[in-house]
Amino acid sequence: GEIFREPNPLELIRRPPAQGPITCRQNISVSFLQPPPVPPPRPPVPPPLVIRQRAPPLSTTASLILRERPPRTPAPISSKMIIKKLPSIPVTPRSVIVERYSATPARPRDIIIER
């Protein structure tokens, strides 16, 4: 039927901007900071002594195996071939093409390096 028919097709074409590549400026500033003063050394503290003891292994019992008889083979079914000639699938009309311009990229943020 008429499901794919469009009385007024809409066609939007999407193309990149025509003025060429976009150039942005990015401000970068560097400031050198003074490190904080070094604290006085503390007396050494010996690390704690850690003793690890393992629990004795648990004894495992033998596995319990339950077996069932395998299922019976099904009875053979005779094969039957059916050949049907089906009509071809109708060709769908042209679809609506929507092309949009890409948005301009955001300006890169300023970079401040403090050392």
pLDDT value at position 3? 61
Mean pLDDT of the chain: 80
Q: Where are the domains of the chain?
A: 1-17+94-102
For residue range 55-98, what is the model confidence (pLDDT) as tens digits? 888 887 888 888 888 889 988 888 888 899 988 888 877 777 77
CA distance 60 to 54: 17
Most confident of 35-39, 56-60, 103-107: 35-39
pLDDT value at position 5? 64
> How much is the pTM?
0.21
The pLDDT of 28-53, averaged and rounded, is 86
% of residues, the chain, pLDDT over 90: 3
Strand ranges (E), 1-115: 28-31, 111-114
In whole angstroms, how far apart are CA 28 and each of 19, 35, 102, 108, 112?
27, 22, 28, 11, 6
